[in-house]
Structure 1
Amino acid sequence: DAIRNIAAEFLAANGFHECMGLSLSNSQYYIGPDALQPVAKESLVFVHNTANQGLDCMRPTLLFGGLEIIEHNQNRQNPNLRLFEFGKTYSGPLPAATVAPSGPPSIASDRREIYRLAVYLTGAHSPESWQPESKSMVDFYTLKAFVQNLLARLGVSGFQETVVEEHPFQMALRYHRGPKELVTVGQVQPAIVRKMNIKSPVFFADFNFDNILAALASGKIHFQELNKFPVVRRDLAMVLDRAVTFAEIQQLANKTAKKLLKETNLFDVFEDEQKIGAGKKSYAVSFLFEDTEKTLKDKEIDALMQQLQQAFEQKLQASIRK
């Protein structure tokens, strides 16, 4: 409860409202010709609900309860929403040696419950006003920042990032420790949003809170002295194939200069077939270097940047823009 309260207080302090959906859901979301998030029928836990036949299964995800709440609010002139919900999801028997998104291979079981946290973001950054900033809309990076800050607030670290393409996301980033999912954050597929009669893009973070609690229970808190030596920044612009992701650049940079590289950030993206060619894009990336024992010299940074450039050219077929 203490960890849950920390997460809830963090989200509430950042303008999110807690909601509570039903544990029951409509199986037509998951099976049938019009399924929005198709799953195997055997994985659903059905209930005999004579009072409401539209609620005929236990929810396998928190997503659709949240989308129903968003639709309800938008229909009542409340378009800008920041919501979160804690709750369990339910699934039926899984075959032996099935690799589930939440963890390693599992043995066959009759029922499976996972405690989750769902976070939803849609609409504008701020309430409507005469200021131009009020018209800017939230996006993937808005929610990603909240997710990263929440993980930091909870003290969760040492995780990996993987770009994933799977239902119900159009684009998503998964934070995990090995095979254990911590959270997946991304944009809900526009087709799902349209079917739910929602008028703006929806961004959704799906936390496996059981795995987060397990990670915190097994971890130790470490304190580190603040670095008294200055951080050095270098920028690099490169032309890449459109298929190359920023995550690949980050991973290669960390592998190449892991001892002194503190942070890698993408601050500009440019695409123009006439100027840089078809199927290409230009990334402007910043690199922050630091040494905890001494002030870095220009020749050290130049050598590191040369190593990074060579790695990008050889591994990612990048063309460095001078």
Structure 2
Amino acid sequence: MKISYNWLKQFIDTDKNPEEISTILTAIGLEVESLEKVQAIPGGLEGLVIGYVKECEQHPNADRLRVTKVDVGVGEDIQVVCGAPNVAKGQKVVVATVGCTVYPNIGEPFKINKSKIRGESSEGMICAEDEIGLGEGHAGIMVLPEEAVVGTLAKNYFNLNDDYVFEIGLTPNRADAASHLGVARDIAAFLELPIKPNNLGDFKIKDNSFAIEVEVLDTDAAPRYSGLTISGLTVKESPSWLKEKLAVIGLRSINNVVDATNYILHDLGQPLHAFDADKIVGGKIIVKKCEAETKFKTLDEVERTLSADNLMICDTEKPLCIAGVFGGLNSGVTESTTNIFLESAYFNAVSVRKTAKRFALKTDSSFRFERGTDPEITVVALKKAALLIQEIAGGEITSDIFDNYPKPVAPFDVELSFEKVDQLIGKALGNQKITGIIKALGIEVGNETTTGLQLKVPTYKVDVTRSVDVIEEVLRIYGYDNIEIPQKVNASLNVSPKPDKEVIQNTIADMLSANGFFEILANSLTKSSYSENLDEAVKILNPLSSDLDVMRQTMLYSGLEAVAYNQNRRTADVKFYEFGKTYHTANGKYQEDNHLSIFLSGKVETEQWNQKANAISFFHLKATVDAILKRLGVVNLQSDEADGKDFEYGIQYRRGAKVLVSFGAVAKKDLKLADISKPVFYADINWDMLMMLVKSNKISYKEVSKFPAVRRDLSLLINEDVRFEDLKRIAVKTEKALLKEVNVFDVYQGDKLPEGKKSYALSFTLQDEQKTLDDKQIDAIMQKLIANFGKEAGAEIR
């Protein structure tokens, strides 16, 4: 937000220079991101002077040129060749002297040099309005009044003052500071200065001859609506002082009426809108919401389709303006306008924000209405704007002020304890100092005691509703830098819960990242079409769009969107993980669950010339899940087939009836929703349950055996329906003491085997903790294994 230094001084009398004001603003919470010296017009008319044309003769070598002698107040006349048709002897003119730079409205700046034009010497340039940025006229040179003094600097003659602009990084909660008045209030409170009051003594209503009838049908969206009519005005170019004020803060002049409303907006923070009163059909303004699908063309000539939630300013036939956001194409002020209806309203912040977001419109008005304007300033702004319009456009106020305010917004009642102020600030400021700052901020002190204050916070401080908010205001003005750092810091030691969830999460995140995974962070808001059960979904009361109307119930779809986003940008091989939450409602209560999701798609490795790039499979995902569980010491889980709702195929690990992990290939219907054509493998880990299992883990240690382990292999011919898990169970049951590990290292099925058969090659690791195993013991164990495999699984030795 841009704030003008000279404009601020219209509200406060201070001798602080711009650099000092910049420091003050940053110290009190209005951070100045930049401070820039600006000129009302480019170049500031440097090097331009007022001259007098003493002679004007026809150029001997050009029909359209004149050779003039001009007195510029330096004692010696200069010769200037001029092509303007209206140049004549005896005129007072603006002269650009040799060495200065001229900044025209159109084209690049250029330097004035001594030159010869068609053989005649020229030592400057007699200027037109548009050639020096003072206007749009180019029919001829500027001719000044007779009283203009020769030799006067043009910047002094036109009363151009250098200004400084503060670029303030306004935080969303500081709606009260979204104007020059609001910023001046804070500076005044810090410097203990008064704010100059608005001079509205000249406001007079001529009669009620051209009153526009107003009907407010939606007082929730428009709690206060004020307006009046001004008749007989003339729409034209704004005076130079007004154009200069707006130009300094980056606004383009449009016409005197529109410029006046923009001036008041940045002056007081109250948005206004001027309607051509003669275009208001039926002589009546109706504030209401239109029917859904109503078409409305805005000032930018774009036709927009309204919803039933958009508050509109209408006449008896059609909508005229999107309330608080943007005006209509056919109801605004033009050069032919002579009568206006001037609106000053207080609109509901949520209503304006939803409308602005719906139409992707961001205007100076919506910026302020969305954050909250002051309901008590609408009439003040209306009167000040009316006086300004009368000053620069003429006209008379021909209606009483209409002011619909059925439920006045009361100031916030706050009880403030001096003890709490000292406690939160960390320093005893003293009751008198606290009270002084509060009064300087414009907060009304009702009852004052030795222990605290009864306060009424003005309505323009929309973010100050609690005692802690008032304390923050006090601290801002007192100064954060004035709170000393204590020499001694007291702290209590707390026992952290074990295991530390953050440490565990970081451990797994580091492990995944080290194995080529990238962490993603998705929005918890998602579209309702992704919801597993809408009745249990956490719905957003005021959604920004239909794609962000519920909280996610699963981590699946946000991850698939990330996969699709990357694959659509030629990053086909993805390995993602995300720690996040899902949200549900159960028995009228909200429930949040922590999850870890993993996504795999594409190839295992990048393409290489010397090896084939293998596609990621279900088993790569299983290996990742098993590695996580093993790293955390979670073992002895039951496994079965995963629920087919989200998976084409997959398995799940559970402890009892509770599912800890579900993983597998994502179902085709879900891939289609995310517009993904390639297989995606997904794991969902219930992180809360995993933390409970980790917490219940009992860590035991044992000495590394001094005696060597022995490996033996067997090749078994078995039926096709026999699983490795079946063989492992038989082996463990056969030899519980010495068998340490069973593994399958080869599987074969083919025409060399009998029909319905397959071959498993198993390895067995044997170890005795007390002594070295001998061949006799090993052979005995292997014979028992062979016998039991044959008896229980029908296995034959190959």
What range is the shorter-chain TM-score in? 0.7 to 0.9
Does the 8 A contact of 2:526 with 2:550 survive in 1?
yes
Q: State the SS of the aligned residue for 2:571.
A: coil
Give distance in 1, aligned partners of 2:506 and 2:583.
Answer: 23
Give distance in 2, aligned partners of 1:70 and 1:63.
Answer: 11
Superposition pairs for residues 163-312 of structure 1, below 5 Å? 163-167=640-644, 168-189=646-667, 192-193=670-671, 196-272=674-750, 275-278=753-756, 280-312=757-789
Alpha-carbon spacing, 1:193–1:275, altered in 2? closer, same or farther (3 Å): farther
Q: Which residue of 2 aligns with 1:34?
A: none
Does 2:606 align with 1:127? yes
Does the 8 A contact of 2:745 with 2:763 survive in 1?
yes
Give distance in 1, aligned partners of 2:651 and 2:767.
Answer: 27
Q: State the SS of the aligned residue for 1:132.
A: coil
For residues 96-149 of structure 1, the C-alpha deviation after alignment (integer angstroms, 9 at most, x for no partner) is xxxxxxxxxxxx77443321111122222222221305x122223323333233
Does the 8 A contact of 1:161 with 1:173 survive in 2?
no
Q: Which residue of 2 aligns with 1:101?
A: none
Does 2:572 align with 1:79? yes
For residues 4-44 of structure 1, the C-alpha deviation after alignment (integer angstroms, 9 at most, x for no partner) is 111111111111110012223444345xxxxxxxx555454
Does 2:514 align with 1:13? yes
Does the 8 A contact of 1:118 with 1:204 survive in 2?
yes
Greater mean deviation of Cα atoms: 2-11 or 237-246: 237-246
Q: State the SS of the aligned residue for 1:247.
A: helix
Does the 8 A contact of 1:17 with 1:84 survive in 2?
yes
Larger of the two Rg values belongs to structure: 2
* Alpha-carbon offset, residue 86 of structure 1: 0.4
Does 2:798 align with 1:319? no
For residues 22-70 of structure 1, the C-alpha deviation after alignment (integer angstroms, 9 at most, x for no partner) is 223444345xxxxxxxx55545444456433244443222122111211
Does 2:523 align with 1:22? yes
Does the 8 A contact of 2:581 with 2:595 survive in 1?
yes
Give distance in 2, aligned partners of 1:290 and 1:161.
Answer: 27
TM-score (normalizing by structure 2): 0.34
Name the aligned partner's letter for residue 573 of structure 2. N
Q: Which residue of 2 aligns with 1:150?
A: 628
Give distance in 2, aligned partners of 1:244 and 1:221.
Answer: 35
* Alpha-carbon offset, residue 303 of structure 1: 3.1
Superposition pairs for residues 43-62 of structure 1, below 5 Å? 43-48=536-541, 50-62=543-555
Greater mean deviation of Cα atoms: 73-82 or 51-60: 51-60
Alpha-carbon spacing, 1:116–1:251, altered in 2? closer, same or farther (3 Å): farther
Name the aligned partner's letter for residue 634 of structure 2. S
Give distance in 1, aligned partners of 2:701 and 2:745.
Answer: 30
* Alpha-carbon offset, residue 301 of structure 1: 2.9
Name the aligned partner's letter for residue 128 of structure 1. E
Give distance in 2, aligned partners of 1:171 and 1:310.
Answer: 36
Give distance in 1, aligned partners of 2:779 and 2:674.
Answer: 53
Give distance in 2, aligned partners of 1:318 and 1:24.
Answer: 56
Q: Which runs of 5+ in 2 are unaligned?
A: 1-501
Q: State the SS of the aligned residue for 1:275.
A: coil
Give distance in 1, aligned partners of 2:729 and 2:539.
Answer: 43
Q: Which runs of 5+ in 1 are unaligned?
A: 31-38, 94-107
Q: State the SS of the aligned residue for 1:12.
A: helix
Name the aligned partner's letter for residue 307 of structure 1. K
Give distance in 1, aligned partners of 2:755 and 2:592.
Answer: 50
Q: State the SS of the aligned residue for 2:507.
A: helix
Does the 8 A contact of 1:70 with 1:81 survive in 2?
yes
Give distance in 1, aligned partners of 2:721 and 2:541.
Answer: 47
* Alpha-carbon offset, residue 175 of structure 1: 3.6
Give distance in 1, aligned partners of 2:670 and 2:761.
Answer: 33
* Alpha-carbon offset, residue 271 of structure 1: 2.8
For residues 228-270 of structure 1, the C-alpha deviation after alignment (integer angstroms, 9 at most, x for no partner) is 3222222233344444433333334333333222222222223
Give distance in 1, aligned partners of 2:561 and 2:754.
Answer: 44
Does the 8 A contact of 1:239 with 1:276 survive in 2?
no
Give distance in 2, aligned partners of 1:321 and 1:191.
Answer: 46
User: Identity of counterpart residues, as a percentage?
Assistant: 38
* Alpha-carbon offset, residue 157 of structure 1: 3.4
Superposition pairs for residues 83-162 of structure 1, below 5 Å? 83-93=576-586, 110-133=589-612, 135-154=613-632, 156-162=633-639
Give distance in 2, aligned partners of 1:191 and 1:309.
Answer: 47
Give distance in 2, aligned partners of 1:206 and 1:48.
Answer: 29
Name the aligned partner's letter for residue 8 of structure 1. A
Alpha-carbon spacing, 1:234–1:85, altered in 2? closer, same or farther (3 Å): same
* Alpha-carbon offset, residue 73 of structure 1: 0.6
Q: Which residue of 1 aligns with 2:505?
A: 4
Does the 8 A contact of 2:642 with 2:652 survive in 1?
no
Greater mean deviation of Cα atoms: 83-92 or 165-174: 165-174
Does the 8 A contact of 1:163 with 1:247 survive in 2?
no
Give distance in 1, aligned partners of 2:709 and 2:691.
Answer: 34
Give distance in 1, aligned partners of 2:778 and 2:619.
Answer: 29
Give distance in 1, aligned partners of 2:721 and 2:554.
Answer: 30
Q: Which residue of 2 aligns with 1:100?
A: none
For residues 249-302 of structure 1, the C-alpha deviation after alignment (integer angstroms, 9 at most, x for no partner) is 333433333322222222222333673314x44333222222222222333333
Greater mean deviation of Cα atoms: 73-82 or 288-297: 288-297
Give distance in 1, aligned partners of 2:742 and 2:624.
Answer: 18
Name the aligned partner's letter for residue 23 of structure 1. S
Count of residue correspondences: 296
* Alpha-carbon offset, residue 87 of structure 1: 0.8
TM-score (normalizing by structure 1): 0.78
Does the 8 A contact of 1:238 with 1:318 survive in 2?
no
Give distance in 1, aligned partners of 2:598 and 2:722.
Answer: 28
Alpha-carbon spacing, 1:59–1:272, altered in 2? closer, same or farther (3 Å): farther
> Relative contact order (alpha carbons < 8 A, sep ≥ 6): 1 or 2 greater?
1
Name the aligned partner's letter for residue 766 of structure 2. F
Does the 8 A contact of 2:640 with 2:653 survive in 1?
no
Q: State the SS of the aligned residue for 1:263.
A: strand
